[in-house]
Structure 1
Amino acid sequence: MRISTVTMFDQSVASMNRQQSDFLRVSQQVASGRRVVNPSDDPQAASRAVGVSQSMAVTQQFADARISARNTLSQAESVLNSVSDALTSAKTLLVKAASDTLSDVDRQSEASVLRGIYETLIGQANATDGNGRYLFGGYNDDAPPFARTSEGGVSGTQYNGDENAREQRIDASRLMSVADNGKAIFQSVPSGAGYVARAERDPAAADATSLGVQTGYSANEGSVTFTSGPNRVDPGDPAFGENFTIAFVDVAGEMHIQVEDPSNPGDFLYDAPYVSGETVSFGGVSITLEGTPADGDQIQLRPANDEGANQDLFKSLKDAIDVLEMDQEGTPENRAHYRNTINSVMRELDNSLDNVLTVRASMGARLNELDVVDAVGTNRMMNYDQTLSDLVDLDYSAAIAEYSLRQVGLQAAQRTFVDIRGLSLFNFL
């Protein structure tokens, strides 16, 4: 059979092109370090690699979200640490101010220090995360959550933020609160907090001159004070957890203490003559009273988490500042009002501090959880890296061996073409 010169040339060129293509493919693999450079190299591995790469991208997004969440929580926890220190300082100052040895001038000096703590706490409650977002405003984080107010000549603060906790997804199955709202921190008390007492009388019950203890209530006219309590003595009492009003009533010229049963109006949980320094118990709580009450004076006892109880940290401090600045020397009623307010504020500050510490503990737990989720995410990313490497990465030992083989094949094809091209019948004549 005759083989034409054109056929020999075509076959030789095709062989060289095939060998050169294989050689270049292996060269590209060695240069890139990847076995699958183009999807056509291994369609199944390339398809799986795309899925793994997408999973890695999602995992990295969650890792970035955890960094943002950790920064926010760390800043908020740092602010609450300063708040805790400020509350401790305020409580120490009030313990000192409760001493009868201080003069009005001394108390006014202490009021100036307490006002500085008050201003500091408002600034901390309006702290930002460094990017212009307010930490404690909930989802309304574009404006200060706490604003100053002035109603009827009485200044205070008002919460204007959102009452939700701002959340962020840190993993596919975990939505975490990264910023607690200011109302839950500065205007709430922890669950299980006890009773808080306020020496005040309902103006509907008696006519008295208001000293600004609480809007809607007036200061007592007498000098009765609560020196201990209210204390929890029997949480199992059926009336425990209700609001109580200790009323001082003149009965036939003798001062009586009357505590009406909240569940059965007209019935009394306690009705007995008043004895200064005596501890009275009712509804599962007890309180020790001293001084000389006036007819119509009242002491309100409320669970700390009741709507009628003061849960506002800033109001507690403002009440303390007001009584510290009040002229009380020589006036038994003012001194009693001063002691009662200081005692009430110290109990409220204790509750506020407990609440702040509870929120801080929650933040610490979330920071620890972020560390755990980070560890899980790191392990997941390592598994993805290994899977992706198994799919597309190059085995250099095998690739170098194939590289040498393809190089020899290409050289052989080139040499064969040279030899075949030189063949002619005239070489045999």
Structure 2
Amino acid sequence: MRVSSNTQYIAGTYSLGSQQGLLTRLQEQLSTLKRVNRPSDDPVASSQIINLMQSQSRNAQMIENAQTVVSKLSMSESLLHQGSEVIQAMKTLAVNAGNGPLKDTDKKALQNEFRERVRELVGIANSTDANGDYLFGGTQTQSLPFELKIGSTISIEYKGNYGQQDIQVSVSREMSVTEPGAVIFGGSSAAALPSPLPTPPEQPNPNLMSPGNELLQTIRRFDEILSGIGVYDDKKPAVPDPADNPLNEKKYPSYADSLAAVLDGFDAGLQQLLTVESRMGSRMTEAEALQSVGEDLKVQYATSIGNLEDLDIPAAISDFQITVQALTASQKTYQQVTQLSLFNYI
């Protein structure tokens, strides 16, 4: 084998290039404090890091979703708590209405106070979140859920639907963040619908409905009592059985019986509201637990990624110093070799 000056030049150049490339990679690692900056640094570790980062991103989204669920449910739960206090105040007014004979002026004063409570309750039912979306309109978040009209009588109608807004809080779990207002407060102040209620077309889950919730109807009945309207209880016929009423006289339930029915209605309405509030509380607790699990996974993902890509700084510094020394030696050797020539010996 013949060794020429060109062969020595090529070998020296290759050695310098390799040392310089290694030095550049070590400088980059020390600059970023990462062992893997590109797939070519460690293909296997790079692939694992990509998979972990994708899982990390999904987990971060689930944590954010769980936070949203907690926030929305917390606000709704707080509003329902206020609503329960308003219903309790309405019931107290109904009790006061039964404390001995009342003058027309007393009834009028009670009615005025009662109607203010009705406005307060409907205001709660028409509450919005921070984005301006109505909380109790089902999936119709941009239109007013309840319409209130107060004249000689009270009319309250639910204008929303029976859908629920769901948010995914884990890979296998979606959670409802709303309850239809009709399920909480009732659908109408008009006479009770036949039981069981027909399933509304927008209703995804018939179990949500509570045919016994007659809160809005109870509100109308009590207002009519205070107004002096004769029909106090829609459940009792205005015309009794002919056997009990041979003269076929038109009779209405007594004042005391009507108030008793109203009190029962307020109790049933309050119970339904508390049931929904409890459901929301359970979901909020679950969302908080999932959020906590997500935070733990966040730490685990970060640790796993760090183990794969983080730089062993002392070892890298040592390698860097060795590489600098090796490069310096290679440069001196290359310089001496390139100065050798056979012509110097002729």
**Residue type at the aligned position of 2:127:** A
Distance apart, 1:315 and its partner CA: 2.1
Q: Which runs of 5+ in 2 are unaligned?
A: 194-208, 231-249
Give the Cα separation in 1 of the matches to 2:251 and 2:321: 102
What is the CA–CA distance in structure 2 between the aligned matches of 1:334 and 1:406, rounded to whole Å? 107
SS of match in other structure, 2:147 = strand
- Matching residue's letter, 1:413: S
Tell me if structure 1 keeps the 8 A contact 2:122–2:148: no
Provide, for residues 240-276 of structure 1, a one-character-per-residue CA deviation record: whole Å limited to 9, x for no partner.
Answer: xxxxxxxxxxxxxxxxxxxxxxxxxxxxxxxxxxxxx
1:362-418 superposed Cα distances (whole Å, 9 cap, x missing partner): 111111111111111111121111111122221112211111111111111111112
Supply the distance in 1 between the matched residues of 2:138 and 2:226 (Cα, whole angstroms).
34
Alignment deviations for residues 95-145 of structure 1 (CA, whole Å, 9 cap, x no partner): 111111432211110110000011111111111112121111111222112
Partner of 2:315: 398
Q: Which residue of 2 aligns with 1:173?
A: 172
What are the equivalent positions in structure 2 for 1:26-425 lying under 5 Å apart?
26-148=26-148, 155-187=154-186, 311-326=213-228, 337-424=254-341
The structure whose RCO (Cα within 8 Å, separation 6+) is larger is: 2
Task: Give a deviation string over 1:259-309, Cα, whole Å, max 9, x none.
Answer: xxxxxxxxxxxxxxxxxxxxxxxxxxxxxxxxxxxxxxxxxxxxxx995x6
RMSD (Å) for aligned C-alpha atoms: 3.0
Please, what TM-score do these two structures have when normalized by structure 1?
0.67
Alpha-carbon distance in structure 2 between the residues aligned to 1:160 and 1:327? 27
Once the two structures are superposed, residues 24-43 of structure 1 have per-residue CA deviations (whole angstroms, 9 ceiling, x without a partner) of: 11111111111111101111
Cα distance change of structure 1 residues 143 and 48 upon mapping to structure 2, 3 Å threshold: same
The code of the aligned residue for 1:159 comes to: Y
- Counterparts of 1:390 and 1:72, CA distance in 2: 37
Q: 1:214 to 1:384 in 2, by over 3 A?
A: closer
Question: Given residue 289 of structure 2, which amino acid in structure 1 is its aligned partner?
Answer: V
Q: Within 2, Cα distance between the matches of 1:144 and 1:387? A: 49
> Residue 79 and residue 428 in structure 1: after superposition, are their counterparts in 2 closer, same or farther (change >3 A)?
same
Aligned-partner Cα distance in 2 for 1:71–1:96:
38
**Deviation at 1:19?**
0.3
Q: Say if 2:183 and 2:210, in contact at 8 Å, map to a contact too.
A: no
Q: Per the alignment, in what secondary structure is the counterpart of residue 176 of structure 2?
A: strand
SS in structure 2 opposite 1:185? Answer: helix
Aligned to 1:195: none
Larger Rg: 1
Distance 1:306 1:402, change over 3 A: closer
Distance in 1 of aligned mates of 2:344 and 2:192? 125
8 Å CA contact 1:137, 1:162 repeated in 2 = yes
* 1:398 partner SS: helix
Amino acid at match of 2:225: V
- Residue 90 of structure 1 aligns to a residue whose secondary structure is helix
Q: Post-superposition shift, 1:66?
A: 1.1
Deviations 1:210-264 (A, max 9, x none): xxx9599xxxxxxxxxxxxxxxxxxxxxxxxxxxxxxxxxxxxxxxxxxxxxxxx
The runs of 5 or more residues in structure 1 that have no matched partner are 189-212, 217-304
User: 1:118 touches 1:314 (CA, 8 Å); kept in 2?
Assistant: no
Displacement, 1:2?
5.2
2:157 aligned counterpart, secondary structure: strand
Contact 1:104/1:327 (CA < 8 Å) preserved in 2?
no
Separation in structure 2 between the aligned mates of residue 360 and residue 426 of structure 1, nearest angstrom: 99
Query: TM-score normalized by structure 2?
Result: 0.82
Identity %: 30
- Give, in angstroms, the shift of residue 334 of structure 1: 9.7
Distance in 1 (CA, whole Å) between partners of 2:210 and 2:55 is 49
Question: For residues 112 and 79 of structure 2, what CA distance do their matches in structure 1 show?
Answer: 23
Higher helix share: 2
Kept after mapping to 1: 8 A contact 2:146/2:157: yes
| Aligned partner of residue 168 in structure 1, secondary structure | strand
Change in 2 beyond 3 A, CA 1:102/1:155: closer
Q: Which amino acid in the other structure matches residue 339 of structure 1?
A: A
| TM-superposed deviation, 1:428 | 6.6
Structure number with the higher strand fraction is 1
Deviation at 1:46, TM superposition (A): 0.8
3-state SS of 2:177 partner:
strand
Counterpart-to-counterpart distance in 1, 2:118 and 2:289: 38
